[in-house]
């Protein structure tokens, strides 16, 4: 019985947490202000680059020069 309780407690750790965010995407070729539903194992953020490109990315990319990031749904409109 104790083994089952332990497995039940560990189940959320094994399932892998998913992070979700909605961002607007724009790349000047095929995507023009399209709503993107982004999901990943690491936390995501919406971004806008100095050249106007928009989308979603990992938080690690937000430190790059020319990138402006925000962490709420549809915040890069």
Place of tokens 């806008």: 48
pTM of the model: 0.75
Q: How far apart are alpha carbons 22 and 37 in whole angstroms?
A: 5
Q: What is the DSSP string of 29-45?
A: SS-EEEEEEEEESS-EE
Q: What is the pLDDT of residues 32-63, one digit of tens each?
A: 899 999 999 999 999 999 999 999 999 999 99
């Amino acid at each position: 019985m104790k083994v089952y309780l332990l497995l039940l407690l560990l189940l959320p750790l094994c399932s892998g947490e998913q992070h979700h965010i909605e961002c607007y995407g724009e790349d000047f070729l095929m995507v023009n202000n399209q709503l993107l539903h982004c999901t990943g194992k690491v936390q995501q953020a919406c971004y806008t680059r100095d050249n106007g490109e928009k989308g979603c990315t990992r938080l690690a990319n937000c430190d790059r020069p020319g990138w402006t990031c925000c962490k709420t749904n549809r915040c890069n409109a």
